[in-house]
Amino acid sequence: MTDQPNDPNIKLVAAPQETPSALMMWLGMADNSFTRQKTVKFGDPSAVNSGRLWSFVTVIALLLLWWVSTSQGWVKPIYWPSFEAVGKRITKLLDQGFRNTALWEHVFISVYRVLSGVFFGALVGIPLGFAMGLSSTARGLFDPIVEFMRPIPPLALIPLIILWLGIDETAKITLLFLAALFIMIIAARSGVSGVKISKVHAAYSLGASKFQVLKNVILPNALPEIFTGIRTAMGVCWGTVVAAELVAAEKGVGSMIMIAKNFLQTDTVVIGIIIIGLIGYAIEMIMRLLERWLIPWRGKG
């Protein structure tokens, strides 16, 4: 047993803990200042760090598997191309384009169609969702239509879209609009339904009008669900754009993929898939930044 100091003027000072570097925190190898304050780790989503290190490990492992499997001949080029084939094809696409159209033009038209479909879906779906969440009449009128149409995949509507609108640009954007519409209605309705009634009562007790309650209480509380709906709709529309561009489209990443498939150009197909994935990932990151900037109160009650 060690002797303890008896002098009351002597104070034991804990050794200062070394703060992890910014790189370690960014990679998720160490908790940041916020997550270090958490006493409970498991079960608290806000206590989870970025985990970016494991993201890099996953990406590198997949790229290594791709390189090894193609260079060793485990996979035939017709099923999955090698790095060299993809690199040569990208260079050719950047120089010559695809079917007399520049690669950036294919990308731009696909992005334009997806963003247009999501924009018009949100423009119509958010007010409808708010109306269904705030009015019994609106819920009674639109609920059967929404619940009937929501489970139907957008691809099943292609024959009707062609019959009604033909095969021009309007048909493709309309299909993407329908793919986003019902997601946005459900998200907005769910956001309105999740508003705490105590906040509404507090606003009315302070003399707020219906418009002020809608603007200052219901809309801010519904925004997190709306952003989740937009992100979900964006993913669904990217999955639908390939089918939308099957409708007699000569431009677009989806059209490029389908035409390349007919000529067994697997490298072009893989490039198109990678482009769609990268653009979708970039849009998701932008949406997360906007969400963090526009609704900093998310998850804070």
Per DSSP, helices labelled H in the chain are 22-27, 52-71, 83-96, 103-134, 136-149, 158-165, 169-193, 197-205, 210-213, 219-244, 253-262, 266-294
Q: Is the pLDDT of residue 17 over 80?
A: no
d(CA 43, CA 40): 7
Q: Are 187 and 204 in contact (CB under 8 A)?
A: no
Taking a C-beta distance cutoff of 8 angstroms, is the pair 225, 194 a contact?
A: yes
Q: How far is CA 253 from CA 10, 28, 242, 260, in A?
A: 73, 35, 7, 10
Residue 252 falls in which region: left (phi positive, over 0), alpha (psi -120 to 50) or beta = left
Q: Residue 98: phi, psi to the nearest 5?
A: -130, 120
> How sure is the predictor about 288, in pLDDT bands with cuts at 50, 70 and 90?
confident
- pLDDT tens figures, 176-232: 999 999 999 999 999 898 888 888 889 888 888 888 888 888 888 888 899 999 989
d(C-alpha 120, C-alpha 116), whole Å = 6
Look up the CATH number of domain 92-294: 1.10.3720.10
CA distance 41 to 170: 50
Per-residue pLDDT at 297: 73
Angle between the 103-134 and 169-193 helix axes, to the nearest 10 degrees?
A: 40
Which residue type sits at 85? Answer: A
Average pLDDT of span 11-22 = 61
Reported pTM: 0.79
By the 8 A CB rule, do 233 and 121 touch? yes
Could you state, in order of their start, the residue ranges of all structural domains in the chain? 92-294
Residue 10 Ramachandran class (φ > 0 left, ψ -120 to 50 alpha, else beta): beta
Q: Which residue has better confidence, 236 or 5? A: 236
Q: Which residue has the higher pLDDT, 29 or 109?
A: 109
- Give the separation between CA 20 and CA 34, rounded to whole angstroms: 13
